[in-house]
Amino acid sequence: MKKLSLKYSSLSITLCLSLAITGCSATKAPDTNTPPKTVGKTVKIGILPIEDNLPFYVAEKDGLYAKEGVQVELVSFASALERDTALQAGQIDGEVADLVAVALLKKIGTDVKIASIGLGATPKEGRFAILSSPKSTIKDLAGLKGATLGISQNSIIDYVSDQILLDKGIMLNEVNKMSIPKMPVRLDMLLSDQINAACLPDPLASLAQAKGAHLIIDDTYRNISQTVFLFRTESIQENPEGIKAAVRVYGLAGQALSNNPDQYRSLFLEKAQVPADLKDSYQTPTFSKLQLPTEEEISSVMKWMVEKKLIPQAYGYQDLVDSSLRGE
């Protein structure tokens, strides 16, 4: 019996030593794969089938929302008008729009704040271009004098067109601007020579070029326009941590996309609805790190909107931005 007792005593010591070495004692090793605790309430973001919204889909594909502990619901819309109406009604919390849209939302009583630039931190992000029709003899801006330029009135397209013309010494009253709000219609009218020229964003500008339109100028020579990630102020107040996490994920996904564009090529072609004619040639967009538009960029848009009588007075920089949403 004594020998048996010693045997079990030795076995017990061996097991204890083994447990101590492997760490399988009373203290359990932390599970590094456990996702963080969900913060805040679900963040609802309105999206359109445009390249500016691609980071939302990248985040969804890579599971970044769960990794950052935030619940995000992507709500699809067919038009910016429908999306903005939903934002006004409080059916969504945020969206990617432009600075003109931000000021107009505030004008009608929907207070919003910009969290970061979407595309447009550099001049080559989010290109706009002025093109002449395939049969037109117009090959430069001087040729636009007396010609018809298709735009969308009182929009970011209108702003970009004015800035380009003024930058290059063309008086605005020397060009006949025609408002054609629907971009596919504007593209068709350009390609069928119903208008002399048009201002279009990519990928439609690239598509117009591929179909024979002549590139007169684009806005990559200086940073004229930006899209911005914005939220209702009421949503920020009710769910600050959730919205901060959603902004953080947008930035992380944008960087993942920029670092490995080929990895997300098929996702981009699908979600941004890139025209079939461009699927082999059109480049996957890259996104800069999260940052706010500059005071100068916002001031320029506000000045233009006041001159156009779109807003009674310019909104100040702090009226439009919230740097805390990026964790500052």
* Residues 291, 151 share a domain: no
Does 90 map to a domain? yes
What is the reported pLDDT for 39? 73
Q: What is the rounded CA–CA span in Å between residue 230 and residue 45?
A: 10
Is residue 17's pLDDT more than 80? Answer: no
Does 76 map to a domain? yes
Cα angle 132, 137, 138; round to 5: 50
Domain that holds residue 317: 43-122+226-326
* Residues 117, 142 share a domain: no
Could you say which of 221, 245, 273 is where a domain stops?
221
DSSP string over 233-284:
HHHHHH-HHHHHHHHHHHHHHHHHHHH-GGGGHHHHHHHTT--GGGTTTSPP
Q: For position 211, which CATH number holds?
A: 3.40.190.10
More confident residue, 162 or 16: 162
Is residue 114's pLDDT more than 50? Answer: yes
What is the total count of domains within the chain? 2
Is residue 70's pLDDT more than 60? Answer: yes
Overall average pLDDT of the 107-123 stretch:
96
* Residues 104, 74 share a domain: yes
Overall average pLDDT of the 307-324 stretch:
96
At 325, is the pLDDT very low, low, confident or very high (cuts 50, 70, 90)? very high
* Residues 269, 147 share a domain: no
* Residues 238, 94 share a domain: yes
Does 201 map to a domain? yes
* Mean pLDDT for the chain overall: 89
pLDDT digits (tens, 9 = 90+) for 194-225: 999 999 999 999 999 999 999 999 999 999 99
Q: What is the rounded CA–CA span in Å between residue 278 and residue 117?
A: 26
Is residue 73's pLDDT more than 90? Answer: yes
